[in-house]
Amino acid sequence: MSPTAKDTRERMVEGAVRLLATKGLQGASLGEVLEATGAPRGSIYHHFPGGKDELVAAAMQVVGDRTLTDLRALSGATPETVTAAFLDKWRTLLLGTDFRAGCGVLAVTVAAEQGPLLDAARAVFREWRAALAELFVAGGAERPAAESFSTILLAATEGAVVLSRADRGIEAFETVAAQLTQQARTLG
């Protein structure tokens, strides 16, 4: 793939990442992606012969991988530090977008029918939970507690993001974050 073609593909995936986080699956139409990225119309099926589903799956993979990279950087940290960093990632997204963006993977999960997109979202969430659990174990938590708390952390954080977006304020997120941080202290 030529550098220009690779750049176009990456621009389109990045555009889909942003649209999924701000407008959901329905708002991440191929036309919207083209408009947001300035990519030529023919590039959709050149880079994504499977159409929108292939583009959305690529965008979710990027989001998933970025979060995993951020988590891996926390290797050796205490459960409380891991939890605080995970929460801060979402807090920064909310505040930095004036509550217009949330989790694109959640957006796909809510809107997708059974099939490849829901499978891709499931895979991302499972990878995040597994990575969090491993970090908690490495930080001194017992495996059953680490696995349980990784699920609670992810589910509660996603819910807090949704509530904060709906409220257009950070209060609900901070309430949940305080409880999660307190619970994380008991893991190590």
Please state the domain count of the chain.
Answer: 1
pLDDT of the residue at 5: 61
d(CA 101, CA 90): 10
For residue 157, the enclosing domain spans 3-185
d(CA 114, CA 108): 11
| Residue of 147, 154, 153 lying closest to 181 (CA atoms) | 153
**CATH number of the domain bearing residue 144:** 1.10.357.10
pLDDT of the residue at 21: 97
pLDDT in tens, the chain (188 residues): 555 766 889 999 999 999 999 999 999 988 999 999 988 888 888 899 988 999 999 999 999 999 999 999 999 999 999 999 999 999 999 999 999 999 999 999 999 988 999 999 999 999 999 999 999 999 999 999 999 999 999 999 999 999 999 999 999 999 999 999 999 999 97
Burial 21-54 (b: 16+ CB within 10 A, else e): bbbbbeebebebbbebbebeeebbeebbeeebeb
HSE toward the beta carbon, residue 166, CA cutoff 13 A: 8
* Residue type for position 47: H
Q: 3-state SS of the chain: helix, strand, coil percent to 5?
A: 80, 0, 20
